[in-house]
Chains A and B, each alone.
Chain A
Amino acid sequence: MAEPVSAAAVAEFLYREARLLDSRKFGEWLDLFCEDAVFWAPAVGMDGAHTTIPELSLNFIYIVGRAGLEARVFRVESGGSLASNPLPQTRHLVTNVTVDSDGPGEVAAFANTQVVAFCEARGQQILNGSYEYVLRKENGRLRIARKKILLLEYVIDGYFDFFTI
């Protein structure tokens, strides 16, 4: 039976994740995810409400299994994607961290986020949203079993990727 996790420990974990993204240590960032991790950013319906059934509706990003995330990292690091070359610089501002539930194997957590991205070609982009995490307790450390990103903006200027939300 795993120990309960403090809100401070969860916040620390989320800050560290954000810092890995901002410093483009994508390999280390991927290590935070379980092999069967879900990475989900729902799209919206015509009424502006987020879609709710990821399998059967349209999502901005819906990845089941870490290999899908690895492919995204592979692409932006390949140098072949004009949109990701040079990679926009980012700063993730993660706030309002709360632990929603703490079970024997998993912790559910919430946070708000603002991500500022900059590249010379497109200037500054700010995307806001909230994160809903399921963190799994594995050998005394936390890993991401599920990261859901609810974006505030749905009329998108340009484009975005896993590391700019």
Chain B
Amino acid sequence: MVTNGVRPNRRGFADYIDDRPGDGVFRVDRAIYNDPDVLEAEYRNIFEANWVFLCHEAHVRNPGDYFATHIGRQPVFVVRKPDGGLGCYLNACGHRGATLVTARTGNTKGFVCPYHGFCFDTAGKCTAVSAPKTGWTEAHFDMADYDLTPVARLDSYRGLVFGSLAADVPELRDHLGAATALIDIFVAPAPQELEIVAGFSIYQTACNWKIMHENGPDAYHAPVVHNNFAQAVNFREKRESRSGVARTDTGRLTGRIESASYDLGNGHTAFWHKRPNPEAFPIYAQKAELEKQFTPGRVEWILGRGRHMTIFPNLLLNDLASTHLRCYRPLSVDRMETMIWCIAPAGEPPELRAARLRKFEDFFLPSGMATPDDVAVAESAQKASFAFNSKWTSMGRGIDFKIDGPDAAARELGMAPRASSNSWDHEIAMQGVYRRWLQMMERGEEHRRG
């Protein structure tokens, strides 16, 4: 890792953000991407101080199902308890700290530590230790001393499971805020439950986690970075004369289309674009059903618009090329990990499921025809973040077009963003991310100083 040898003296985290909307300026000091001290503070003040996404309920559907992951640096696992509720515990044995759950996922009645064999139930209670009588007198032995440490807060919204290591956080619903309206229609197309399709991908990128997080709400890059995707797919479709749901809607990448973007508050973002070919999407098969159930405005949101959102700091949900969930984790200041799943209505007809998956594989994954280019550009931005003599990254696009509060489309959905803008290629949503970043960093440091 290259370290920041000429780190300028900063008075505080506010120095990283140049936020002057009146002058049409929003800029971020690029050292924010390469200063190891910043990442330490982010772990403390963001990842380990508020709600982060853990997994989908479908990952832990049955009693005993578990899912091992991280909150910031800290290993945790989520488990479905026999009563149907969820538990989430630090993934460190109460004895001498071996990793208790070593598989990513599985199903178990209880956990046996691989080191000295202590046993734990799905409620995190220590239920047995090896040879207690010869190791402790009764006066100094209390099995409860070895119980697992639960996370401070655990909750889920529409199947998305979140945990927090800090107790003093708002209710999950309030944390998600305006994003709930969009999460609702992400789920709404399925009268059935959503399921995680078999298979996932995990990949590491040599960039700071925020560079990839910014790439999500950034639709401005799509016609440039992904033009080659559109051209390749169009080439194939011409060659194969594809039709219907087997087609891929590349219109969003090659032409100017109606769109909008939103600063949802709390660092969450969203955008949508009008779908030039809505019939290319599996959900279109449910048109008649949806029209019976919902208002025309809502149906337009579901069928007619590609939708994208990020939930600060580590979740991305979208229904653009295909329906997917993506979860981020920083590994070091210049390395991050991404996990990605395809999510779909349970019981979807096989032809639609296959079409959904092929679109997913075309675009996403480290082996797709688009994600590698996102990764390449993110890694190039990481390298350029050391250009200290040209330190500002600009995110001012769209400032002059910003609408405070909801636009007409948001109102149709009953969604209350902090700000809206009439194009998906504006950067106002990203500004919301960095304002939230600064608020959490400053609040956390204040807290630490007492």
- List residues of chain A with CB under 8 Å of any chain B CB: 41-48, 51, 53, 55-62, 65, 67-68, 70-72, 74-75, 78, 80-84, 121-122, 154-161
Q: Which of A46, A70, A72, A82 contacts B59 (CB 8 A)?
A: A46
Q: In the complex, A83→B370 CA distance in Å?
A: 9
Q: With A and B bound together, what is the CA distance between A44 and B197 in angstroms?
A: 11
Give Cα distance in the complex from A42 to B202, angstroms.
14
Most-contacted residue by chain B among A42, A45, A46, A154 (CB, 10 A): A46
| Cβ contact within 8 Å between B228 and A159 | no
Taking a contact as CB atoms under 8 Å apart, the answer to whether B379 and A121 are in contact is yes
How large, as a class, is the contact surface on chain B?
35 or more
Q: List 19 A-B contacts (CB under 8 A).
A: A43-B365, A46-B59, A47-B103, A56-B197, A56-B350, A58-B198, A58-B360, A59-B361, A67-B239, A70-B235, A72-B369, A75-B232, A81-B369, A81-B373, A122-B206, A154-B201, A155-B203, A158-B206, A160-B367
**Least Cβ distance of A61 to chain B in Å?**
5
Nearest A residue (CB) for B357: A58
Whether the Cβ atoms of A158 and B203 lie closer than 8 Å is yes
Within B359-374, which residues are at the interface with A (CB < 8 Å)? 360-361, 365-367, 369, 371-373
Q: How many contacting A-B pairs (Cβ < 8 A)?
A: 145
Give the residue of B103, B206, B228, B350 whose beta carbon is less than 8 angstroms from that of A75: B228
Query: Is B366 touching A159 in the complex (CB atoms < 8 A)?
Result: yes
| Contact of A70 with B373 in the complex, beta carbons under 8 Å | no
- Determine the distance from Cα of A88 to Cα of B129 in the docked complex, in whole angstroms: 54
Interface residues of B in 222-241 (CB under 8 A from A): 225, 227-229, 231-233, 235-236, 239-240
- Closest 5 interchain pairs by CB? A58-B199, A80-B228, A159-B372, A83-B372, A71-B236
A81's partner among B235, B357, B372 (CB-CB below 8 A) is B372
Contact with A along B173-206 (1 / 0, CB 8 A): 0000000000000000000000001111111111
Q: Which of B103, B232, B376 contacts A159 (CB 8 A)?
A: B376
Q: Please tell me if the beta carbons of B105 and A160 are within 8 angstroms of each other in the complex.
A: no
Given that A44-B200, A65-B240 are known contacts, is A82 also in contact with B376, CB under 8 Å in the complex? yes
A68 with B342: CB separation less than 8 A:
no
Taken together as a complex, chains A and B put the C-alpha atoms of A78 and B201 apart, in Å, by 26
Cβ contacts under 8 Å, B197 to chain A: 56-58
**Interfacial residues of chain B within 106-163, with CB under 8 A of chain A in the complex:** 106
B169 lies within 8 A of chain A by Cβ:
no
Is A83 a contact of B375 with CB atoms below 8 Å? yes
Q: Does B3 contact A (CB under 8 A)?
A: no
Contact between chains at A67 and B380 (CB < 8 Å)? no
Q: A56-B357, A155-B203, A158-B366 are in contact. Are A80 and B198 (CB under 8 A)?
A: no
Chain B residues near A72 (CB-CB < 8 A): 232, 369
Contact: A51 with B198, CB < 8 Å?
A: yes
Alpha-carbon separation in the docked complex, A59 to B239 (Å): 23
- A45→B198 contact, CB < 8 A: yes
Task: Say yes or no: A43 contacts B200, CB within 8 Å.
Answer: yes
Chain B residues within 8 Å of A84, by CB? 372
Name the distance in Å between B240's Cβ and chain A's nearest Cβ: 5
Additional A-B contacts beyond A58-B200, A58-B357, A81-B228 (16; CB < 8 A) = A43-B200, A60-B201, A60-B365, A67-B236, A67-B239, A67-B240, A74-B235, A75-B228, A83-B375, A84-B372, A121-B376, A122-B206, A158-B204, A158-B206, A158-B379, A159-B367
CB distance from B182 to the nearest CB of A (A): 24
B236, A70: Cβ atoms closer than 8 Å: yes
Judge if B358 is at the interface, Cβ distance under 8 Å.
yes
Chain B 79-107: CB-based contact to A (< 8 A → 1; otherwise 0): 00000000000000000000000011110
Asked if B346 is an interface residue, CB under 8 A from chain A, the answer is no
Report A149 CB to chain B, min CB distance, Å. 10
Nearest CB on B from A62, distance (A): 6
Q: Report if B377 contacts A (CB, 8 A).
A: yes
A58 touches B201 (CB 8 A): yes
Q: Shortest CB–CB separation between residue A77 and chain B, in angstroms?
A: 10
Q: A62-B361, A82-B377, A159-B372 are in contact. Are A71 and B232 (CB under 8 A)?
A: yes
Contact A61 B361 (CB under 8 A): yes
Chain A residue at smallest Cβ distance from B239: A67
Q: Quick check: B199 and A80 within 8 Å, CB to CB?
A: no
* A-side contacts of B204, CB under 8 Å: 155-158
Q: A82: which B residues are within 8 A, CB to CB?
A: 225, 373, 376-377, 380
CA distance A78 to B225 in the complex (A): 12
- Give complex CA distance A157, B377 in Å: 15
A140 to chain B, nearest CB (A): 28
